[in-house]
Amino acid sequence: MRGHPGHWAFLVHRVSGVLLALFLPGHFVALGAALEGEAAMDAFLAWTDRPLVKFGEWGIVLLLSAHLAGGLRILALEFLPWREGHKTMAALAAGVSLAVSLAFALALTR
């Protein structure tokens, strides 16, 4: 059964999880550059100043906030006493994650 808020929330949670898992090795490689000396790390940091990489960073923050908010929604749904209004919860999770990512985008432009 597709095309209702519960299914969209499920898809966003799954897809963001998979994409974050793909990002993680890249993150470790970047951190590993620090072990190879100051120059390697600085070169990497200079590369991250490119606009396209900044846009990618924004995307990662969006994925992280969406996955966190979606995860909290699922935990509330499954572990707290049942309440109506789960579509509102899904909308709230989407709103919070968008707000967090926009705040990050704002910080990037300053």
Partner 1 sequence: MTQLRVRVWRGGADGGFQPFAVPRQASQTVLDAVTYIQRVLDPTLAYRFACRVGMCGSCAMTVNGVARWTCRTHVDKVARDGRLEIAPLRSLPVVRDLVTEMRGFFDKWSRAEGVFRGARSRRDAFERVAPRSAQRLNVEAGIECIGCAVCYASCDVVAQNPEYLGPAALNRAWTLLNDVRDVAQAERLRAVAGDAGCHACHSQMGCTERCPKGIAPTASIAGLKRAAMRALLAGEL
Q: What part of residues 16-75 is at the interface with partner 1 (CB under 8 A)?
A: 74
Q: How buried is 83 (Cβ within 10 angstroms: 0-12 exposed, 13-18 middle, 19+ buried)? A: exposed
Alpha helices, H only, the chain: 5-33, 38-47, 51-79, 86-109
Q: Which is nearer to partner 1, 39 or 80 (CB)?
A: 80
Question: What value, to the nearest 5°, has the Cα angle with vertex 48 and ends 53 and 15?
Answer: 40
In the set 4, 18, 37, 108, which binds partner 1 (CB under 8 A)? 4
Residue type, 51: P
In terms of CB distance, is 41 or 74 closer to partner 1?
74
**CB nearer to partner 1: pick between 5 and 56:** 5
State yes or no: residue 92 binds partner 1 (CB under 8 A).
Answer: no
Task: By CB under 8 A, tell whether 7 contacts partner 1.
Answer: yes
Question: In the complex, what is the shortest distance from the CB of residue 96 to partner 1, in angstroms, rounded to a whole number?
Answer: 19
Instruction: Please give the angle made by the CA atoms of 61, 64 and 66, to the nearest 5 degrees.
Output: 105
Q: Would you tell me which residues interact with partner 1 (CB under 8 A)? A: 1-2, 4, 6-7, 10, 74, 77-79, 82, 86
